[in-house]
Amino acid sequence: MINLRKGAVTKTVPTGAGAKSVATEPRSGRILVANRTTATVTVVDPRKGAVVDNLTTGANPNHVHVAHGAAFVAAKSGSGPEGQDLLHRFPLGH
């Protein structure tokens, strides 16, 4: 976490291995991090500076995007039934 006014790192919050993509949930301010190596999305509460949840995805999640009250995570592993990549939807509680 960085204090932009001071230009200084104020806290480090560990997520899963291979952090690849980051998105912010606008209503809660929570940050979602797609972790490619661990096949998870880490949910961080920046006010607390802490991980509040880890969501399991398909193998190799590359991108996370938040829209319409949900997190959409693209897993680029080709692990679908016919070798296709997968898109996971995680509803975000408000």
Question: Could you read off the pLDDT of 40-71 as tens digits, one per residue?
Answer: 999 999 889 899 999 998 888 989 999 988 99
Q: Tell me which DSSP letter residue 58 carries.
A: S
**% of the chain with per-residue pLDDT over 70:** 99
d(CA 3, CA 7): 6
d(CA 91, CA 41): 13
pTM of the model as a whole? 0.83
